[in-house]
Copies of this chain bind each other. A is one copy, B any other.
Amino acid sequence: MKIDPGKPDDLSAQIAGAIRDAIVAGTLIVDERLPSEAELAEQFDVSRSTVREALKRLAAQSLIRTQRGATGGAFVNRLSFEQACSQQITTSTLLLSMNAVSFGTACEARYALERACAPLSAARRTADHLATMRGEIHRQSQPELSDEAFCASDVAFHRALVDGAGNPVLSYQLAGAVEAMQPLMNMITFTARDRARIIDLHRGVADALEARDGAATLAALTALETETQALAHSVFAARAKKRP
């Protein structure tokens, strides 16, 4: 585990890279303790500050955790699905907002991915997943709900659908696609009629899943995508007319 003492600055990035490589390669295993900051400083022949900056970089990616005290130090962190999900959600959200991804593109990706879950979810969804979905549908039908809360409930509904597939890898990969849509959805103002249509389509999805009918689930999701795209299109068109 060495670094190039040559030209480029940013020693902390090099050190972080070296340690990261060791973790990825399996040289450092989960829960193993890294040398103390002082020892690392000596090994890499840099100051403690530089080592600390390197460790902070790794901590930001949840690759290590640190503990104070006599038996403390930096430990290789077991990356949990939960941590990975939340990281992916913030990354996805930023990616969409910073690159001016169109609603249509994001929506297409989201529904394409959800359709990938449909057959699995129809086969494996538990009563719990179905209950969550029904509960969200019920919440969505309360007229006093704010648009933002309506979108949040929509996200919860879709997450239940994805989780129903019973494949944690799939749930992880889709978390970003599902959640990152929320800010985009929040740009839409829903009329009561809009909400009623969406709720109807949600009910269709839930019914198909209850019947364990994969094909019907697919069809229901496609109908939901069509409706969502049309709704967004009309809202954005109206807004463009108002403020040209």
A24 lies within 8 A of chain B by Cβ: yes
Does A112 contact B101, Cβ atoms closer than 8 Å? no
Q: A56: which B residues are within 8 A, CB to CB?
A: 12, 53-54, 56-57, 60
A105 lies within 8 A of chain B by Cβ: yes
Partner among B13, B113, B168 whose Cβ is within 8 Å of the Cβ of A170: B113
Q: A173: which B residues are within 8 A, CB to CB?
A: 92, 109, 113, 173-174, 176-177
Does A99 contact B117, Cβ atoms closer than 8 Å? no
Task: Give the interface segment out of A35-43, A80-88, A193-201.
Answer: A80-88
Q: Contacts A61-B60, A109-B167; is A84 near B79 (CB within 8 Å)?
A: no
A90 lies within 8 A of chain B by Cβ: yes
Q: What number of copies of this chain does the assembly contain? A: 2
Q: Smallest distance from the beta carbon of A79 to chain B beta carbons, Å?
A: 5
Q: A53: which B residues are within 8 A, CB to CB?
A: 52-53, 56
Docked complex Cα distance between A165 and B108 (Å): 11
Docked complex Cα distance between A228 and B172 (Å): 22
Chain A contacts with B in 32-81, Cβ cutoff 8 A: 49, 52-54, 56-61, 63, 68, 78-81
Does B95 contact A79, Cβ atoms closer than 8 Å? yes
Q: Smallest distance from the beta carbon of A122 to chain B beta carbons, Å?
A: 13
In the complex, what residue of chain B is closest to A172 when comparing beta carbons? Answer: B95
Q: Give me the 5 closest cross-chain CB pairs, A-B, nearest first.
A: A116-B116, A57-B60, A109-B169, A60-B60, A112-B116
Q: Chain A: residues with CB nearer than 8 A to chain B? A: 9, 12-13, 16, 20, 23-24, 26, 30, 49, 52-54, 56-61, 63, 68, 78-81, 84, 87-88, 90-99, 101, 105-106, 108-109, 112-113, 115-117, 120, 165, 167-170, 172-174, 176-177
Can you list 28 A-B contacts with CB-CB less than 8 angstroms, sorted by A residue number?
A16-B60, A20-B90, A24-B90, A24-B93, A26-B97, A53-B56, A58-B60, A60-B60, A60-B61, A78-B99, A79-B94, A79-B95, A80-B99, A81-B95, A84-B91, A88-B88, A88-B91, A101-B168, A105-B168, A105-B169, A108-B170, A109-B173, A112-B120, A112-B167, A112-B170, A113-B116, A115-B116, A169-B177
